[in-house]
């Protein structure tokens, strides 16, 4: 399965970033220069270290050529780019266990990697420009106060809706979860479903937004406590069962939530999908669509969008860690123009360096601008480095049973809380 630039959201969490800092051109509007890491490219007559850099297989045309171009123009080392189709996330964790390769790679850090000393902290690389990154995006790369990845580009998901279909049905863009449920039901008619949020009935992509809608989260208090041990979690997650049970969700679509096909083909009036789909949707509907964050549960909750980012990381077992860190700094801190191109030229992504968002022309108006604003105002990290696989499986199972089988939300949430609490105890004692 080849994944595109957004589907990494689908796997680990979310993501993003992009841009830059650096280059220290002194031009007005440039991000602040990095002075954090002194290891620069070696003198031109010195033998170059050979570095291997891994990416997952981005779907957008031109990305592979671009990152190869960036690597080949680096003067400090001979960097070879490896493009990895298939299950990249499993491949990278396997490679990190005992291999010196790759030297540099993209991923979202997990606390177990840090505990196993598989990745290097990059605080000296990110240095004084750290404050320029969106907090949520930076949090995806931070474990116990140390940064292990330089965010490359930010992505998000929003609720796309067809203005004309809502107008015809007399439905206002939903501002609360109940309004979303009502809207989905009213829009379900004539072979068109109200909402598409994945073939799993929204279990995968709506769990986080539902928790945030109630003012909750996966973890809280510095990742030391379970964030959804609250009756409101059961209330919010129970809404997913209503959506699944009343027939207003599109299920079994040929392409899943990350693809705009169902929305463009008129199979659904609303779809929860990624910002990256704006160009295709605009091509299909012109201005007949809008975007919204996931609505709040009630007056005590808040609207939300998930954010996520792959970060550039350094393998602790690399034979060239100094050179690898220098390369990461050069590419993902200093080369601002490349970072901006990487984030915005090949698709719709938000630079996670806040100073660069204003330079992204395709994010300045319309739904894309709205989505970029949602990222800044309503962005949440999905899970995060301390949210482990057992916790994720337990919560996902619980939500699936609530949504699809009508299981008791309170009991299911309690089961997931116990697993998550056990994982936190394992990690922090």
Partner 1 sequence: MTRRDARAFWLFVGPFLLGLAVFAYLPIGWSAYLSFFDARNTVTPTEFVGLGNYGHMLTDEPFLSSLGTFSVFAVFIVPLTFVLSLALALGVNQLRFARAFFRSVFFLPFACSYVVASLIWKTSLFSGVRYGLANTVLSVFGVDPVAWTGTVHPPLYWVVLVTARLWLQLGFYMILFIAALQRIPVQLYEAAWLDGAKPGWPVFRHITLPQLRATAVAVLLLNLINAYQAFDEFYNIMGDARGYPPFARPPLVYLYYTSLGSGGQDLGRGSAGAVILALLIALVTVLQGRVLRFGRAA
Three-state SS across 169-233?
Answer: CCCCCCCEHHHHHHHHHHHCECCEEEEECCCCCCHHHHHHHHHHHCCCCCEECCCCEECCCCHHH
Note whether 252 and 329 are within 8 A (CB).
no
CB of 34 to partner 1, least distance (A): 29
Task: For residue 30, give the DSSP letter.
Answer: P
Taking the least distance from each CB to partner 1, the nearer of 225 and 265 is 265
1, with CB counted inside 10 A (0-12, 13-18, 19+), is exposed
69: CB partners within 8 A, 6+ apart: none
Taking the least distance from each CB to partner 1, the nearer of 251 and 369 is 251
Positive or negative, the Cα torsion across 79, 102, 2, 57? negative
Within 10 angstroms of residue 368's Cβ, the number of other Cβ atoms is 20
- Residue identified by tokens 């595109």 is 4
Taking the least distance from each CB to partner 1, the nearer of 162 and 359 is 162
CB of 175 to partner 1, least distance (A): 26
Taking the least distance from each CB to partner 1, the nearer of 200 and 338 is 200
Kindly list the residues in this chain that would bind partner 1 in the complex (CB under 8 A): 1, 3, 7, 10-12, 87, 89-90, 93-94, 96-98, 108, 110, 112-113, 115-116, 118, 191, 198-201, 203-205, 250-254, 256, 258, 262, 267, 388-390, 392-393, 396-397, 400-401, 404-406, 415
CB of 177 to partner 1, least distance (A): 20
Taking the least distance from each CB to partner 1, the nearer of 19 and 141 is 141
Q: Which of 164, 161, 153 is nearest to 63 (CA)?
A: 153
Taking the least distance from each CB to partner 1, the nearer of 201 and 227 is 201
CB of 356 to partner 1, least distance (A): 28
Compute the distance between CA of residue 129 and CA of residue 80 in angstroms, rounded to an integer: 27
Taking the least distance from each CB to partner 1, the nearer of 48 and 404 is 404
State how beta strands 77-84 and 49-56 pair.
parallel
57: CB partners within 8 A, 6+ apart: 2, 3, 64, 83, 84, 85, 86, 88
CB of 17 to partner 1, least distance (A): 19
Within 10 angstroms of residue 235's Cβ, the number of other Cβ atoms is 18
Q: Encoding tokens for residue 265?
A: 């083909």
CB of 93 to partner 1, least distance (A): 5
CB of 259 to partner 1, least distance (A): 11
Note whether 152 and 342 are within 8 A (CB).
yes
Taking the least distance from each CB to partner 1, the nearer of 43 and 191 is 191
Note whether 371 and 272 are within 8 A (CB).
no
Compute the distance between CA of residue 357 and CA of residue 286 in angstroms, rounded to an integer: 24
Dmax (CA) for the chain in angstroms is 71
CB of 244 to partner 1, least distance (A): 8
CB of 245 to partner 1, least distance (A): 9
Taking the least distance from each CB to partner 1, the nearer of 23 and 258 is 258
Taking the least distance from each CB to partner 1, the nearer of 91 and 282 is 91
CB of 405 to partner 1, least distance (A): 5
CB of 351 to partner 1, least distance (A): 24
Taking the least distance from each CB to partner 1, the nearer of 76 and 384 is 384
Distance of alpha carbon 131 from the chain centroid: 19
């Amino acid at each position: 399965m080849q994944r595109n630039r957004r589907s990494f959201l689908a796997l680990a969490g979310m993501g993003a970033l992009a841009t830059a800092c650096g280059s220290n051109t002194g031009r007005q509007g440039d991000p602040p220069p990095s002075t954090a890491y002194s290891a620069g490219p070696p003198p031109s007559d010195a033998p170059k270290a050979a570095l291997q850099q891994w990416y997952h297989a981005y779907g957008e045309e031109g990305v592979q050529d671009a990152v190869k171009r960036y690597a080949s123009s680096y003067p400090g080392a001979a960097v070879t780019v490896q493009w990895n189709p298939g299950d990249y996330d499993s491949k990278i964790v396997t490679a990190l266990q005992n291999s010196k390769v790759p030297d540099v790679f993209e991923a979202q850090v997990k606390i177990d990697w840090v505990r196993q000393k598989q990745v290097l902290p990059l605080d000296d690389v990110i240095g004084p420009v750290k404050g320029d990154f969106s907090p949520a995006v930076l949090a995806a790369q931070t474990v116990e106060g140390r940064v292990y990845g330089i965010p490359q580009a930010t992505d998000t998901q929003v609720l796309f809706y067809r203005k004309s279909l809502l107008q015809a049905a007399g439905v206002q863009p939903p501002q609360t979860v109940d309004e979303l449920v009502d809207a989905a039901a009213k829009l379900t008619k004539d072979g068109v479903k109200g909402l598409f949020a994945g073939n799993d009935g929204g279990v995968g992509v709506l769990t986080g937004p539902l928790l945030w809608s109630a003012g909750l989260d996966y973890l809280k208090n510095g990742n030391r406590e379970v964030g959804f041990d609250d009756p409101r979690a059961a209330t919010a997650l129970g809404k997913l069962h209503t959506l699944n049970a009343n027939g207003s969700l599109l299920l079994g679509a040929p392409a899943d939530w990350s693809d705009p096909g169902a929305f463009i083909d008129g199979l659904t009036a609303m779809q929860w999908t990624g910002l990256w789909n704006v160009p295709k949707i605009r091509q299909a509907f012109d201005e007949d669509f809008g975007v919204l964050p996931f609505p709040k549960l009630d007056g005590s909750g808040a609207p939300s969008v998930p954010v996520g980012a792959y970060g550039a990381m350094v393998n602790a077992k690399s034979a060239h860690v100094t050179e690898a860190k220098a390369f990461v700094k050069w590419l993902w801190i200093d080369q601002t123009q490349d970072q901006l191109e990487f984030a915005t030229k090949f698709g719709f992504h938000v630079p996670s360096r806040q100073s660069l968002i204003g330079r992204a022309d395709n994010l300045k108006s319309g739904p894309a601008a709205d989505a970029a604003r949602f990222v800044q105002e309503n962005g949440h990290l999905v899970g995060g480095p301390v949210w482990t696989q057992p916790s994720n499986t337990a919560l996902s199972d619980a939500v699936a049973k609530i949504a699809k089988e009508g299981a008791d939300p309170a009991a299911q949430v309690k089961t997931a809380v116990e697993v998550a609490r056990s994982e936190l105890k394992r990690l922090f004692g």
